Structure 1
């Protein structure tokens, strides 16, 4: 597996994986395009030996703050460190762009993701009730001070 910058040619594949993984919460191809081309953002993809997209992630940095916009890994590859690798690349990027802290929201019903973020040094700082629609699942807001990065 390799990580590379996302390209416009990746929009359809990212949107397809997004729909598969997130169902009703999924971003449309138009939203994926907006994110990939938006200012102050960097999107990366996890690709296999045939350059098929198996994961993706993005960060928005408006220094001194960074915000993890999304991260996803094909379920068949979970638990092998790919999510950690994507997150580390985004955190490095936030640091390069002058962020001193990074935020993210994670579904309250996603303990594996919460565990990953906690292991990277994020702390839970709040809850956004009913944030993920249409299911109404709460979002846990997490923050990492980059100087405290593990």
Structure 2
């Protein structure tokens, strides 16, 4: 699907983000309190995406680090997957990071997450490292990066 709407979430959207993040990640969720802290963390931006602002179906949380930027998390509700919303959110994040002067963008992805790895490969990311036992379940994360 094309025509996804992407918008910047505000602090009052914290509960909606926590709910959406739990739906998107289930067992690997950050937990509601950690998700809500995204809205008060320094230099962090939360984007929502969906067909309308009344019901976000996806989100992306990223951090401006000056010359670099980092994707903290991105997720899409099951009903909206495989329809281009994840790609639209990622593109919006990359554009925003470039717009604030970042030259390089980083993220971590589960080594076993084939769908996310394919999304990032299509967006021009390549592997630059590994974080052993990065996730609470002991799974490794691959560190990916791309120039902006």
TM-score (norm 1): 0.90
Residue 89 of structure 2 is aligned to residue 86 of structure 1: yes
Contact 2:58 2:76 in 1 (8 A): yes
Name the residue aligned to 1:143: 145
Moved more, 114-123 or 7-16: 7-16
Name the residue aligned to 1:60: 63
Deviations 1:29-52 (A, max 9, x none): 322222122221211111333611
Residue 29 of structure 2 is aligned to residue 15 of structure 1: no
Counterparts of 2:41 and 2:106 in 1: how far apart (Å)? 18
TM-score (norm 2): 0.91
The structure whose residues are more often strand, as a share, is 1
Aligned residues: 145
Q: Structure 1 unaligned runs (5+)? A: none
Q: Structure 2 unaligned runs (5+)? A: none
Contact 2:87 2:119 in 1 (8 A): yes
What is the 5 A alignment of 1:34-53? 34-49=37-52, 51-53=54-56
Runs of 4+ in 1 over 4 A off after TM superposition: none
Residue 36 of structure 2 is aligned to residue 33 of structure 1: yes
Counterparts of 2:87 and 2:51 in 1: how far apart (Å)? 16
